[in-house]
Amino acid sequence: MTEAMPFIMFASLFVLLLLGFPVSFTLGGVSLIFGLLTFGSNFFNLLPLRIWGIMTNYVLLAVPLFVYMGVMLEKSGLAEDLLETMALLFGRMKGGLAISVVVVGAMLGASTGIVGATVVTMGLLSLPTMVKRGYSAELATGTISASGTLGQIIPPSIVLVLLGSILNVSIGDMFIGAVIPATILVSLYLAWIVVFSILKPEAAPCMPEDELRAFTGRAMVIRVLRAFVLPFFLVIAVLGSIFAGIASPTEAAAVGALGATLLTIGHGKFDLPTLKDVMRETTLLTCMVFIILVGATAFGLVFRGMSGDRILTQFILGANLGPNTFLALVMVVIFVAGFFIDFIEITFIIVPVVAPIFQSLGIDLLWIGVLIAMNLQTSFLTPPFGFSLFYLKGVAPAGITTGQIYRGIIPFVIIQLVGLTLVLLFPETVSWLPDVLAN
């Protein structure tokens, strides 16, 4: 019975989550009950020490700073300028509007990393235009939903910060290691849109010539510079300072928060109500992340206290699962879990359990972290609980059905799995750039 307790606790947690109980309180409540059963009253002597360790973790300060940066950029009008400019820039190409959405999604991912804000903004600005221009509803909704999730793998990403903290891997290395996989994923998105536009040109038409006529010469150059230069400098300031070793991720996040505030001032969108809104949203998002982290820490404490990690390791080794088989099994579990629970829950529930096993099997944790981040990205797109789908449906114009949104994301989920497989087969896509910069 003792050896079964960790798995009973795990099963209890998933059942309660599927019944709809709040994640943070479910994690904490299940941990409290099983902790008392395992440790007795001593559990209350152990838990505060773990929570204090979270509260004093300097690296995790990057989370509220990156959240502030993202929310502030959402208010700055940056996304609107980028989308309008990119739509005109690629407007003469078949599928040009969809290509512009992917490029802007990648740029916003490198600037903000907040999925909800990106999907809602691009949904409000691009979806009505794409439908009006004759784009297939499936291509339009799929492109917007998928592009909005790119902030989960493109650094600076909150997912990468949390995974680096849990796996005990340098956040800077996580950011650098994710660059090539993120580039591969964006390239696959663009390639699919080009192929789709060739196969079905009527479903991805060019923009009308009269709208493009004014976008030439000096006016085009000025608009492109205005839309690109300032966001580009912000990305360089944040990521460049990390990659060059000038600043830690936490310090770079502070630079990003200040830069986002200056960009908002530059766009004339900064005022006291805006600042209050940004601070309120930042506080809410940060509290959500950290209360789940506290619950997950308590869960991990109890799970290890019941020797759950040792029992699981012995089971895996006894089943003669090789490192590759175990890795494939974990990737499948994370992918399936993404249909039902959010990426934060998966990060804090599953990753701490499997991380010690990966370490004991001698697998590079940096590579594992990037693989998990790419896998977690699919959780935003897979029904029934894909948050990107909910965000987009909430702002979609009349006539766009849930069925069209679900059908639209299928190719992009397949593309994400193809990208994940490529990184799985070629670990050097993660390790090469950190090795080069280290030398």
| 244 three-state secondary structure | coil
pLDDT score recorded for residue 344: 74
User: Across all residues in the chain, what is the average pLDDT?
Assistant: 80
Q: How far apart are CA 273 and CA 10, in angstroms?
A: 44
What's 382's DSSP letter?
S
Q: How far apart are CA 256 and CA 264, in angstroms?
A: 12
pLDDT score recorded for residue 312: 64
* Count of Cβ atoms closer than 10 Å to residue 209 Cβ: 9
pLDDT score recorded for residue 182: 92
Range of lowest pLDDT (24-33, 49-58, 253-262, 429-438): 49-58
> Is the pLDDT score of 138 beyond 70?
yes
What mean pLDDT is predicted for residues 220-246? 75
Q: How far apart are CA 231 and CA 136, in angstroms?
A: 30
**Bigger pLDDT: 155 or 44?**
155
Q: State the sign of the Cα–Cα–Cα–Cα dihedral 338, 157, 171, 261.
A: negative
What mean pLDDT is predicted for residues 212-218? 66
Q: How far apart are CA 415 and CA 191, in angstroms?
A: 10
> Is the pLDDT score of 191 beyond 90?
yes
| 228 three-state secondary structure | helix
Contacts of residue 266, defined as CB under 8 A and 6 or more positions apart, other chains included, come to 76, 230
What mean pLDDT is predicted for residues 415-428? 93
pLDDT score recorded for residue 313: 64
Range of lowest pLDDT (178-182, 234-238, 367-371): 234-238
> Is the pLDDT score of 319 beyond 70?
no
Nearest in space to 345 (alpha carbons), one of 289, 416, 420, 306: 289
> Is the pLDDT score of 215 beyond 80?
no
> Is the pLDDT score of 239 beyond 90?
no
What's 156's DSSP letter?
S
- Are 78 and 105 contacting, i.e. CB atoms less than 8 angstroms apart? no
> Is the pLDDT score of 212 beyond 70?
no
What mean pLDDT is predicted for residues 324-341? 82
Range of lowest pLDDT (208-212, 300-304, 366-370, 418-422): 208-212
pLDDT score recorded for residue 324: 84
pLDDT score recorded for residue 177: 92
pLDDT score recorded for residue 427: 92
> Is the pLDDT score of 416 beyond 80?
yes
The tens digit of pLDDT for each residue in 80-129 reads 677 777 777 776 778 888 888 888 888 777 766 666 667 777 777 778 87
What mean pLDDT is predicted for residues 324-343? 81
Nearest in space to 256 (alpha carbons), one of 57, 107, 62: 62
> Is the pLDDT score of 418 beyond 90?
yes
* Count of Cβ atoms closer than 10 Å to residue 42 Cβ: 12
Range of lowest pLDDT (210-219, 376-385, 386-395, 401-410): 210-219
